Amino acid sequence: MNARSLAYLPRCSVSELVKSAQHVLSRALTTLDPNPSFVDDSFINLNGKSSIDTGYNMESVDLNLLFQLQQYGFSRTPYVINKLISLCAKVGDLGAGIQLHCAVVKMGFFSNVYISSALVGVYVKCANVTSAKQLFDEMPHRNVVTWNSLISGYLKIFCPEIALGLFLEMLRVGIMPTAYGVSAILLGCAQLEAGELGTQIHGLSFKCGFCSNVVAGTSLVNMYAKCTKVKESRRVFDRMPERNVVTWTTMLTGYAQNKLPIDAMILFREMWQIGLELNRVTYNSLLSSFSGRDHLDHCKQIHSHIIREGLESNLFIQATLLSVYSECDCSLKTSTRSS
């Protein structure tokens, strides 16, 4: 498919996406190289932790720096331009990003896939997905980073059908996905509650060796839970070689969303026993699973933990506590006196 044919991507129904995915993912599972070598080290270096050796502390975008670099000839290097563009994305400065886009065209760097991909990232970060898509269509070459950026952009504006369509098109043209890309598209499956499609993406993730990746694994846990497949979610969780607090909170949230407060409490106790540092998201998720007088004791127990952790003043937790105690036919003031 050429660039112009990607200029308009209609939204597909979930059933159409599943039907299309069956063929595309089946082919991808047998033809794509699980150990691609197309990611250039120079791009990784450009987007690493190194900084431009200019003596400037680049905490914000200063376009005067670009003009000074241009005056002395330094801005002619792709490295410097890419770092400036990446900085625009980091701080979300759309105006500076647009000016750098113009500079890139004037300097003849537009055909550089890494620089153009970074520009797509700027537009996505600044929620200007229309401009990101236009730039994407005009690019003579694209790599997996380009595709990932645009896909994540559509997910951010809650257009999962378009994001999934792009992901399938990326596979059709033979580009191997990354763990980040698979994690992003699993979010799209979760937004659509498309469990069948998510299961197919799970198969692709397994083929690519991403299931051992904590981010991809956590996304699988979330996808299955959002699609009400809690047993599958827990199975993925149990098989993960590495889990972080986000993974545990995601599993706990899955129990809460599926109205399984006892399972959520058991998991909470496991988290507490192994010494995981719980946050407001964890407590909010757990509290939201309680409803009715049968769960009042659980609610009081978690409230006590919240007080000990010093999180009671958090506005989100306060609102959740008020709501939960109300559902349990108990006032927050009364419960505080009795606990």
Instruction: Say if residue 244's pLDDT is above 80.
Output: yes
Tell me how crowded residue 161 is: count the other CB atoms within 10 A of its CB. 20
The model's pLDDT over 254-300, given as tens digits with 9 standing for 90+, comes to: 999 998 999 999 999 999 899 988 888 888 888 888 877 777 888 88
Q: What's the Cα-to-Cα distance from 232 to each of 155, 192, 210, 215, rounded to whole Å?
A: 24, 17, 17, 17
Mean pLDDT throughout 102-119?
Answer: 88
Rounded to the nearest 10 degrees, what angle do helices 280-287 and 245-257 cross at? 20
125 in a domain, yes or no? yes
The model's pLDDT over 161-207, given as tens digits with 9 standing for 90+, comes to: 999 999 999 999 999 999 999 999 999 999 999 999 999 999 999 98
65 in a domain, yes or no? yes
155 in a domain, yes or no? no
104 and 94 inside one domain? yes
Domain endpoint, select from 243, 266, 293: 243
pLDDT at 25: 62
Lowest mean pLDDT among 61-75, 206-220, 222-236, 290-304: 61-75
Domain endpoint, select from 90, 109, 142: 142
Mean pLDDT throughout 89-99?
Answer: 84
Q: What is the mean pLDDT of the chain?
A: 80
212 and 293 inside one domain? no
250 and 266 inside one domain? yes
As to burial, measured by CB atoms within 10 angstroms (0-12 exposed, 13-18 middle, 19+ buried), residue 29 is middle
d(CA 158, CA 153): 9
Which spans in the chain are helix H?
14-31, 41-46, 63-71, 78-91, 94-107, 113-125, 129-138, 144-156, 160-172, 179-192, 195-208, 214-226, 230-239, 245-257, 261-273, 280-287, 296-308, 315-327, 332-338
Lowest mean pLDDT among 78-92, 115-129, 189-203, 312-326: 78-92
238 and 255 inside one domain? no
The model's pLDDT over 319-333, given as tens digits with 9 standing for 90+, comes to: 988 888 887 766 555
276 and 338 inside one domain? yes
pLDDT at 339: 47
pLDDT at 33: 58
Q: What is the pTM of this model?
A: 0.76
262 and 334 inside one domain? yes
288 in a domain, yes or no? yes
Identify which of 271, 267, 270, 261 has the alpha carbon closest to the alpha carbon of residue 293: 261
The model's pLDDT over 19-70, given as tens digits with 9 standing for 90+, comes to: 666 656 666 656 665 554 444 433 333 333 333 333 444 444 555 555 555 5
138 in a domain, yes or no? yes
Q: Who wins on pLDDT, 46 or 237?
A: 237
pLDDT at 80: 75
Share of the chain above pLDDT 90, in %: 45
45 and 138 inside one domain? yes
pLDDT at 325: 85
178 and 219 inside one domain? yes
182 and 125 inside one domain? no
Distance of CA 13 to the CA centre of its chain: 22
pLDDT at 54: 38
252 and 239 inside one domain? no
268 in a domain, yes or no? yes
Structure-token pair, residue 272 = 């507490």
Total domains in the chain come to: 3
227 and 265 inside one domain? no
- What is the per-residue DSSP string for 295-318? GHHHHHHHHHHHHHTT-TT-HHHH
Q: Find the domain containing 213 and state its range.
A: 15-30+160-243
Q: What angle do CA 9, 89, 153 make, to 5 degrees?
A: 20
Mean pLDDT throughout 70-87?
Answer: 69
164 and 249 inside one domain? no
